[in-house]
Amino acid sequence: MKRRNVIKSLSILPFTGAIAAKASTIHTKEATPADAPKRDLFKELGVTPVINASVTMTFLSGSLMLPEVLEAINSTSKDFANMYELQDKVGGKIAEMLHVEAAMVTSGAACAMVLGTAACITGLDEAKIKMLPNHPGPRPEVIMQKTHRYLFDQAVSTTGAKIIEVTGADEMAKAINSNTVMALFFNAAEKSSITHENFLKVAKAKNIPTFLDAAADVPPVENLFKFQKMGFDLVTFSGGKMMRGPQSAGLLFGRKDLITAARANHSPNEAPIGRPMKVNKEEMFGMYCALKSYLERDHKKEWEDWLQRTKTIGTKLETLPTVKTKTWVDPGPANAFPSLFVNWDAAKIRTTPKDVVAALKAGTPSIVANHRGDSLQIGVVLLRTDQIDVVANRVKEILQKAVTA
């Protein structure tokens, strides 16, 4: 096309959106005849597709996005949007859905931790926002229970804050001083010396904002409402775990002034600490759709489907000599859903759960499962419907080979 013609056709575009859309459909059709093989990017790049018979893990790409999320990503990719307005609208809607003052989409729960901490340090002080993670005075302090320390708290120290470890409510009260900016509660910690309620009581008495990390703590869906009701000022959940939004999206919600400050520390602003943690437009729309869909889902039915999956796989495996299976529900709060435990008599089936896990991984298709104690653990919640039998058959095949005569 000559330049003049390009300009000509561009100039009519805004008035002929419908025609342009139609034309592009036709063009796509011409480019890929119906009988042409579909492009397989896994194959093209030599990437191994994996069946996840475990739990959501970032190294294994989180979860599979819901069809409505993919639809949202595609349908919103054709127009530009002002990112401030988009975060306003998406955040506003999410806040409404979760019964909180304000909310925002972050690039995962880890980003929410950086932004939440940054918000508590800077407020709306532009000079401070520009300076982070450096501070002219003493380092800001974030209180955590000693038993709550975990790998993800590096997201807190990324802001320049220092983590102060405490044990028990008295020690927490004593540790709070003029440098304290926030108190962080890791919801899925194995041990707590301070309950949620006491933690809130101590922090509130000293006017310290509280942040709860519940990244992997749905299901149950009620958890999306529970902690703001308890009184936590900020709460985060991952978007790309069981909510099945984009893997790189997450939710931060709670007090309006803190969300406003968190946003001031985030993209699309150019200077702040959160600038390298941007969320694209499509993922914001996608995260909204994932949350909406999660809230509207029939959770009871989904749970029954998961139980049925463990039964289907269990029944198939128990046709092998000495094999016993058991449905187990993780008490949570993280990964609180059913999986299947498989055991057998090692004298009859000469292999170990660890070796079965290795064989599953090395096979085609590659399947990721776990061994736990002396059991094989098969996760069911992340399987596509068509993968339930595939997993059952592969495990059966591997065990069958090891049966002694």
Ligand X SMILES: *Cc1c(COP(=O)(O)O)cnc(C)c1O
Neighbour count for residue 377 (Cβ, 10 Å): 20
Report, in Å, the least distance between residue 189 CB and ligand X: 9
Closer residue to ligand X (CB): 286 or 314: 286
Give the Cα-Cα-Cα angle 222, 182, 88 (nearest 5 degrees).
60
Report, in Å, the least distance between residue 217 CB and ligand X: 8
Closer residue to ligand X (CB): 122 or 187: 187
Residue closest to ligand X when measured from CB atoms: 108
Report, in Å, the least distance between residue 368 CB and ligand X: 17
Closer residue to ligand X (CB): 163 or 188: 188
Closer residue to ligand X (CB): 224 or 360: 224
Can you list the pairs that 84-89 forms with residues at least 24 positions away whose Cβ atoms lie under 8 Å? 84/268, 86/281, 86/284, 86/285, 87/263, 87/284
Q: Cα(130)–Cα(127) distance, rounded to whole angstroms?
A: 5
The per-residue b/e assignment along 104-143, b for 16 or more CB within 10 angstroms, e otherwise, is bbbbbbbbbbbbbbbbbbbbeeeebbebbbebeeebbbbb
Report, in Å, the least distance between residue 306 CB and ligand X: 20
Closer residue to ligand X (CB): 192 or 327: 192
Report, in Å, the least distance between residue 46 CB and ligand X: 26
Strands of 375-379's sheet in order across: 324-329, 338-343, 375-379, 370-372
Report, in Å, the least distance between residue 62 CB and ligand X: 7
- Which residues here bind ligand X, judged by CB under 6 A? 58, 108-110, 152, 188, 213, 215-216, 238, 240, 250, 334
Tokens at residue 326, please?
């058991």
Closer residue to ligand X (CB): 58 or 74: 58
Contact 143/162 with Cβ under 8 angstroms? no
